[in-house]
Amino acid sequence: MMKRNLAESEKWLRRSAACVPGCAQTFSKAPISFVQGVAPAFLAREKGAYVWDVDGNRYIDFILGLGPSILGHADDVVNQAVREQMELGVSFSLPTPIEVELSEKLAK
């Protein structure tokens, strides 16, 4: 079995344990839900089907962002669409056309 450097992960676990119940905002992300020393404890980035922990170790993300990442992480087309929408705003006080367009697609 490959021995991974987990020094940064251990630091983040200690910091998290001091201020976050269960070390995560949801039970499903809590370190006790995974094999410690094998599964990553804290992630730094993600792309496609992979995630990298805070120590730089790469993993296949079998959890897929708790389910919603059907296109993989940081998909270039999705990222561009999000950037374009953010330039227009993201929290409007009244309905916007994009809400209706999405609702129509989901209804189909």
CA atoms within 13 A on the CB side of 80: 2
User: Which of the four pLDDT bands, split at 50, 70 and 90, describes residue 4?
Assistant: confident
pLDDT tens, residue by residue, 45-99: 999 889 999 999 999 988 877 766 777 888 899 899 999 999 998 888 887 888 8
Is the pLDDT at 1 greater than 70, yes or no? no
Domains, the chain, with CATH or none: 7-107 (3.90.1150.10)
E strands in 1-108: 43-47, 50-53, 58-60
pLDDT tens, residue by residue, 12-56: 999 999 999 888 888 888 888 888 878 888 999 999 889 999 999
Q: What's residue 83's pLDDT?
A: 95
